[in-house]
């Protein structure tokens, strides 16, 4: 035990890490960014990936079959933030894929004709009322986000976000909740499960790990386990990055629980040696 959260004990951790180190060319290391590699910041634009983490990902990409970041951010923003060109990025929860060497992200073809739906929905809301509540819109192309971290009355902002989520659902869009953020997504297909499947399809492996801290990451956990249950992966290890504000399912569903981004970066270090 350390800090406010529990983490997996040393023996169990060693066994799991050994399974990932056994055959690096046939192993994938996948990671969420915000809250997992980068400590949470008051505003998304203030979040930064520690340089040590970027260097580790670059070094791991030389030995492991696949190293990729999965993010709710746009794929190109994710690459800019991590600063490593030799790894893959799935952005916007899998709606965008940016593979090593690609100059721009490819949009999921199933989205055709619906790219603007979420943007039009948010644009029709009362902007002055959102501003008054401290609800900040983030334009992520096909996905739109409303953030209220740090607003003067977070409870009032969240309560309005709940109404907006219901309106989005009635408008045929999909509301998704994160840590003090509501995302409005086009219906069908967008999720970190899709992102993980797209990355693994591009680069087949026999073992994979995925690390995440939030509700949206549970979809990635479940997809990894599903692939293992179907025999497409021999090893699937879900790493939960614990935080006091994270959802309870993260520690419940993780095979390996670490304390905050520094705990996950320590795991990456041990995979690199």
Cβ closer to Mg ion: 32 or 108?
32
DSSP string, 18-64: HHHHS-GGGEEEEEE-BTTTB---SSGGG----HHHHHHHHHHHHHS
State yes or no: residue 34 binds Mg ion (CB under 5 A). yes
State yes or no: residue 183 binds Mg ion (CB under 5 A). no
CA distance 16 to 25: 17
State yes or no: residue 142 binds Mg ion (CB under 5 A). no
State yes or no: residue 32 binds Mg ion (CB under 5 A). yes
State yes or no: residue 77 binds Mg ion (CB under 5 A). no
State yes or no: residue 246 binds Mg ion (CB under 5 A). no
CA distance 272 to 24: 10
Cβ closer to Mg ion: 177 or 232?
177
Joined together, the tokens standing for residue 220 give: 């990635």
Cβ closer to Mg ion: 35 or 240?
35
- What are phi and psi for residue 113, nearest 5 degrees? 90, -10
Cβ closer to Mg ion: 32 or 255?
32
Residue 177: which of 189, 190, 163, 161 has the closest Cα?
Answer: 161
Q: Which residue is nearest to Mg ion (CB)?
A: 35
- List 16, 30, 31, 35, residue binding Mg ion (CB under 5 A): 35
- 254: DSSP letter: -
CA distance 136 to 45: 12
Residue 215 CB, nearest approach to Mg ion (Å):
9
- Find out whether 30 and 211 touch, Cβ atoms under 8 Å: yes
Residue 240 CB, nearest approach to Mg ion (Å):
11
Q: Name residues contacting Mg ion, limited to 214-243 (CB under 5 A).
A: 214
Residue 32 CB, nearest approach to Mg ion (Å):
4
Segment interacting with Mg ion, rule: CB under 5 A, options 4-12, 29-37, 39-47, 140-148: 29-37
Residues in touch with Mg ion (CB under 5 A)? 32, 34-35, 213-214
């Amino acid at each position: 035990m350390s800090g406010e959260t529990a983490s997996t004990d040393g023996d169990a951790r060693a066994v799991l890490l050994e399974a990932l180190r056994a055959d690096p060319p046939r192993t994938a290391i996948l990671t969420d960014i915000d809250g997992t590699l980068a400590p949470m910041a008051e505003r998304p634009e203030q979040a930064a990936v520690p340089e040590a983490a970027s260097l580790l990902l670059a070094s791991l990409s030389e030995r492991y079959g696949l190293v990729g970041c999965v993010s709710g951010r746009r794929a190109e923003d994710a690459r800019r933030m991590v600063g490593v060109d030799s790894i893959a990025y799935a952005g916007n929860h899998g709606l965008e894929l940016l593979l090593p060497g690609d100059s721009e992200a490819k949009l999921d073809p199933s989205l055709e004709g619906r790219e603007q739906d979420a943007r039009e929905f948010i644009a029709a809301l009362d902007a002055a009322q959102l501003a008054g509540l401290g609800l900040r819109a983030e334009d992520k192309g096909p996905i739109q986000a409303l953030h209220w971290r740090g607003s003067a009355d977070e409870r009032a902002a969240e309560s309005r976000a709940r109404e907006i989520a219901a309106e989005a659902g009635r408008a045929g869009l999909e509301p998704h909740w994160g840590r003090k953020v509501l995302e409005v997504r086009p219906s069908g297909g967008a999720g970190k499960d899709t992102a993980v499947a797209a990355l693994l399809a591009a680069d087949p492996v026999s073992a994979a790990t995925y690390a995440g801290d939030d509700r949206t990451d549970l979809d990635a956990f479940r997809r990894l386990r599903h692939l293992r249950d179907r025999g497409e992966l021999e090893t699937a290890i879900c790493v939960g990055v614990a935080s006091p504000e994270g959802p309870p399912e993260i520690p419940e569903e993780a095979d390996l629980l670490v304390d905050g981004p520094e705990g996950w970066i320590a795991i990456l270090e041990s995979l690199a040696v």
